[in-house]
């Protein structure tokens, strides 16, 4: 029996926030299935599906090596689980590429068969 949608989504969200701090993304990527429906913010803005979606997620997040993003404050504002997805709303503050960063994020993590099958991120600067 596979883990619940909420359990997998929480693991993915926690791995996401930890990976931004450490620059180590393998633990995050291991939670994904072989295909994913991915919506990414700039600079790789767009929606990608299937094996390409997973590959684009790996390509995008791999740019955030250790020290590139230092999100010292991440506050979850809201969260909900509905059917095959969990949605996290948060506010993050820190630096990205040495520049001040503060934004609201809405992150949808879609789970199928115990794996992340979708990752949609929307954000807005504060």
For 25, 26, 86, the CA distances from 62, given in Å and listed in that order, are 7, 9, 23
pLDDT at 76: 97
Non-local (6+) Cβ contacts of 90 within 8 A are 74, 75, 76, 77, 104, 105, 107
CATH number of 5-125: 3.10.450.50
Residue 83 has pLDDT above 80, yes or no: yes
Residue 30 has pLDDT above 90, yes or no: yes
Per residue in 102-112, pLDDT (tens digit) is 999 999 999 99
Kindly report the pTM of this predicted structure.
0.93
Average pLDDT over residues 69-83: 94
Q: Which of 44-48, 73-77, 87-91 has the lowest mean pLDDT?
A: 44-48
């Amino acid at each position: 029996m596979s883990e619940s949608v909420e359990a997998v989504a929480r693991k993915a969200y926690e791995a996401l926030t930890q990976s931004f701090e450490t620059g180590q993304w393998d633990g995050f990527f291991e939670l994904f299935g072989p295909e994913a429906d991915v919506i990414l913010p700039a600079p790789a803005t767009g929606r990608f599906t299937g094996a390409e979606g997973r590959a684009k997620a790996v390509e995008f997040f791999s740019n955030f090596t250790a020290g590139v993003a230092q999100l010292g404050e991440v506050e979850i504002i809201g969260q909900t689980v509905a059917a095959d997805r969990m949605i996290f709303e948060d506010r993050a503050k820190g630096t990205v590429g040495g520049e001040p960063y503060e934004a609201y994020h809405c992150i949808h993590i879609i789970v199928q068969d115990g794996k992340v099958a979708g990752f949609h991120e929307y954000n807005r600067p504060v």
